[in-house]
Structure 1
Amino acid sequence: MSDHSRKRNNCMPRPAKFVRTEAVARALEVFWQRGYHATSLKDLETALSMRPGSIYAAFGSKAGLFDEVLSHYAEQSLVLLRQKLLNHPSAMQGLREYLHSLANLGVREPAECACMLVKTMLELASTEPQLSARADDYLAAMENVFCEVFMAAMQQNELEKDADPRFLAQQLQVAIFGLRVFSQRQTSPMRVRLLAEQIANQFTQVDKIA
């Protein structure tokens, strides 16, 4: 090869380096907004700046990509949830601050208000049961975190000793799901904020044991 050819080749733009975490993050945005079935391969090509062959080579299939996206979303959510709830001297105060943070759901984009795990279960229960089951497993893991909080509250005398941490965790999860769904309606952000405050009061205003 001549020196001129080498220089010309060196000046040619190289293809963008594939970064898996970035691709998964971009795919997450698309799936979260559109849902699994409404997201086309063309949508993914555009979002990831990848050709169909490259997408299949990296993730195996659309379902394989979605599974990885779901794992990424759930793992991040669990890390953030643990940071907010379990790194606080008072279990109930940590829970209260977390519930107060949900008060801003009314000013966020509708698609972002809904939990992607719940959306996945509702959409894919009959068509992609394996992916739906994966979402259910992650939701169970989040329930376990809430259960840990209530158990810690019992140890800190912030909750009665005969309380049922598992049942409280399930009640709390139902309340949060409901708030997320309600926030997608055409309602005022102030109403969502008031409802979030009510949930916080319901689950954190308990009599301490002397």
Structure 2
Amino acid sequence: MSLFLGPIHQWLYDKIIFQEDLTDALIDAGKAEGWSELTEELANECHSYDRRPLEEAVDPDNIHGSLQSRIADAECRYAKLVQTIAAANPARVEDLKKAARRFGELNAVPVGTKVDVAFGYLNNTLLDGMPCDNVNEMVGQTNDSITWRRNMDIHAQHWADEEDELYYVLRTEIVRGMFEPAGLTYDEPQEGTYEIRA
């Protein structure tokens, strides 16, 4: 990454804020629906309070490190929230899935969105580490579909015992919420390989 703030840093910071918005949306859903597992202490620990503009939120002498730290913080708080609720009441996973789907629907692509634009939208919103991590690799594209492979599980490090299956369950709900209103289908034809179809 560059030594000076530029568009790539704003792009990454926007993805971090999107992750923060997701965490806050799950907290809001839990409060609205009275989830007993969502204690006030847990909500306060996991809620995002730092929404400063990029230039105020990062150390100008360590932009890369500042953004890495913000990613880790956002991912850890999200993992803690989800895992704590699910561990206290495994049946609550269905409520988490519904809340994740609603969040996706609130951030849906417009009707008529092409698959390549939808793929770009995912890349511009969902947090997958730093750009240099090269987490996703496109492996196939037609006019009606895009297929990509996840090269590494960048999220596992933030989940207990690296059991991050629930992360991907909720992510699927978010993405389907984003795409289904536009008539697009999102699937995982095999583990670690994903597809968007018109």
The answer to whether TM tops 0.5 is no
- Larger-gyration structure (1/2): 1
Task: Please give the TM-score of this superposition, normalised by the length of structure 2.
Answer: 0.38
Task: Please give the TM-score of this superposition, normalised by the length of structure 1.
Answer: 0.36
